[in-house]
Chain A
């Protein structure tokens, strides 16, 4: 008989693991020095990191903070360290940081972009943190697309009111007929008619005031709270301009991308062909080409004499560009959904738009979050390309700062500062995307 039977008579007590496998020593052993070969690599890596950091930190920290020009900077460096090599001259940032942030926006009106930024935060909060922020802030979100241009460019408040009213008209008229397509067509038509009436006959304020009664008649359309000093587009610049273009492109490209992705999947042949054609064309063309089209070619197609704002044109182009990429990212998410989800929605009698909004998109967008945020980050950084068509984004401004004899020849400090600004924004987006993914993951599985 073989000796395989065994009965434990005494149970073993729990013991601590050996000290070499836990704690600091254990961690070091496991991760940095598991064998002699890895130990050599670890030491080499640490040496390389030290070499890079010591140079970089030395340059960053042993630097000149107050100077009115590059030559002044150099004098200070010679006086302090005996050489100009390896020292940053942050004096240029000290001198020009407002310009890098705001471009040539009139300094006495800086409060307007700042207010726009604060409102942006209030408008984004209920969207980004829906579970923590009161949904009442959604009113700010709804008003923001009309408030922001007014704050930035100024002019009469009746302009944004008229634009917003056009959307309201489109919504109300579009609801009237039965069916999605006639509603859409009627809605768009009525909005166009409304805008033509509103902006074609610039008497709106008087008409409105008369319509609303005695009290309002006193309001003149060009006095303080109803009229802001206008700021021309060519004064816009700096990080402010990048954020403006980026926010508009990001905000508009997502819904547009969703529609394009759905259109691409549609079994209506013409809709599908238009969407595929659009996506493939835009993705096949460099953004710079589109920006040149925006800055020069578009004038050829527009009726002569129309004054179509250059920033608006650039925003439209960047949005279209982003939307094409967004459409493909979302299409990937749609492809990841099992057909059972469509069948489940259909079998309950949900119509196409209900199924998309309630069942398909929430899941497809969730799958696509990493891709969507990558596209956002890419687009935000691509806004620096507008310097090519002479808009003064931070990179464009760095050129014009160097054109000043005071700062002729300064590069790295400006680029480092601009890079830092972009890094903060992009890193924030990336972190948010990870937060969102984690939240949605724990939420439903």
Chain B
């Protein structure tokens, strides 16, 4: 397995008061298929995400996890089936795509910060240009979220001057500045050194505690156990198993899941 797996233990008590799954649907995927050329990378995906859900997606490398969550904000285009995000269907209509992208935040494995802009400019760019918020107000919002991810003092620096963990937290703050309704995470900690993973996970936990709808591709099983309300296991472009974390880890049904879990958890 190529991806590094850490079972970082979440130590602190999690505040579950606002972690409530509502009946409202945030993302609805039905019968979705995607090919890269001739390669059938996602097969018949059906997935309903409710507001307030914290979903962890795991599975072996190359199973299509990234592709799946990248379809949700149209970084990848699906060929058949339907994806509805916050009531808007993803079609080739550019207006809808930009609208959905501005409401869905995304954090990448390699952060994808803009190296030619300061941390503050990274955070204010999209609010100013996409949301048309006045610069002053955007800066206030940005400082608010930078404080939240605990790096307000770095606001004037450039991304290259920050550690990996700090950069990932900036990336989270940058997404939050758009006030997204859904957050997508694509292996946010797998490019980080172990000591930095915790600070990023802490930020993600705080986000969950505030009731954010989250879809996380991650192999942080500690995070999955304690924060997620649902774990999805993918293999060969398909959803093989999904369940509550307790059941998923203690009582996996499918053989593929069992094999995967035994490999990553080492028993």
Q: Which residues of A contact B (CB under 8 A)?
A: 338, 340-341, 343-351, 354, 358-359, 362-363, 366, 440, 443-445
A359–B112 Cα distance when bound, in Å, is 11
A354–B160 Cα distance when bound, in Å, is 23
B130 touching A444, Cβ below 8 Å: no
Given contacts A340-B108, A358-B129, A445-B158, contact A346 B114 (CB under 8 A): no
A333 CB to nearest chain B CB (Å): 13
A338–B113 Cα distance when bound, in Å, is 11
The secondary-structure label for the interface of chain A is: helix
A-side contacts of B239, CB under 8 Å: none
B161: contacting residue among A346, A359, A445, CB under 8 A: A445
B115 touching A444, Cβ below 8 Å: yes
- Residue pairs across A and B with Cβ atoms less than 8 A apart, 12 shown, are A338-B110, A347-B108, A348-B101, A348-B125, A348-B130, A351-B98, A354-B129, A354-B130, A358-B129, A363-B115, A366-B116, A440-B116
B121 CB to nearest chain A CB (Å): 10
A178 CB to nearest chain B CB (Å): 9
A345–B108 Cα distance when bound, in Å, is 12
A344: contacting residue among B98, B114, B130, B178, CB under 8 A: B114
Which 6 interchain pairs have the tightest Cβ spacing? A349-B102, A344-B112, A348-B126, A340-B112, A349-B101, A445-B160
B221 CB to nearest chain A CB (Å): 26
B159 CB to nearest chain A CB (Å): 8
B158 touching A444, Cβ below 8 Å: yes
A-side contacts of B115, CB under 8 Å: 363, 444-445
A360 CB to nearest chain B CB (Å): 10
Binary contact track B90-117/A, C-beta < 8 Å → 1, others 0: 0000100011011111101011111110
Given contacts A344-B108, A347-B106, A348-B178, contact A444 B116 (CB under 8 A): yes
Binary contact track B62-82/A, C-beta < 8 Å → 1, others 0: 000000000001110000000
A445–B161 Cα distance when bound, in Å, is 6
A-side contacts of B116, CB under 8 Å: 362-363, 366, 440, 444
B-side contacts of A440, CB under 8 Å: 116
A356 CB to nearest chain B CB (Å): 12
A-side contacts of B175, CB under 8 Å: 347-348
B141 CB to nearest chain A CB (Å): 14
B125 touching A358, Cβ below 8 Å: yes
- With A348-B174, A349-B99, A349-B103 given, name 8 new contacts (CB 8 A): A343-B112, A349-B102, A350-B126, A350-B130, A354-B129, A363-B116, A444-B160, A445-B158
B125 touching A349, Cβ below 8 Å: no
A358–B117 Cα distance when bound, in Å, is 10
Binary contact track B38-76/A, C-beta < 8 Å → 1, others 0: 000000000000000000000000000000000001110
B-side contacts of A443, CB under 8 Å: 158
Interface of chain B residues 148 through 176 with chain A (CB within 8 A): 158, 160-161, 174-175
A343–B99 Cα distance when bound, in Å, is 16
A-side contacts of B103, CB under 8 Å: 349
Interface of chain B residues 108 through 147 with chain A (CB within 8 A): 108, 110-116, 125-126, 129-130
A-side contacts of B111, CB under 8 Å: 340
B158 touching A351, Cβ below 8 Å: no
Q: Which residue of B lies closest to A357 (CB)?
A: B129
A432–B89 Cα distance when bound, in Å, is 51
A-side contacts of B106, CB under 8 Å: 347
A347 touching B99, Cβ below 8 Å: no
A348 touching B102, Cβ below 8 Å: yes
Q: Which residue of A lies closest to B161 (CB)?
A: A445
A344 touching B113, Cβ below 8 Å: yes
B33 CB to nearest chain A CB (Å): 21
B158 touching A347, Cβ below 8 Å: no
B-side contacts of A445, CB under 8 Å: 115, 158, 160-161
A263–B175 Cα distance when bound, in Å, is 30
B-side contacts of A362, CB under 8 Å: 116
A-side contacts of B108, CB under 8 Å: 340, 343-344, 347
B-side contacts of A346, CB under 8 Å: 73-75, 101
A344–B116 Cα distance when bound, in Å, is 13
A426 CB to nearest chain B CB (Å): 28
B129 touching A341, Cβ below 8 Å: no
A20–B114 Cα distance when bound, in Å, is 49
A15 CB to nearest chain B CB (Å): 37
A-side contacts of B74, CB under 8 Å: 346
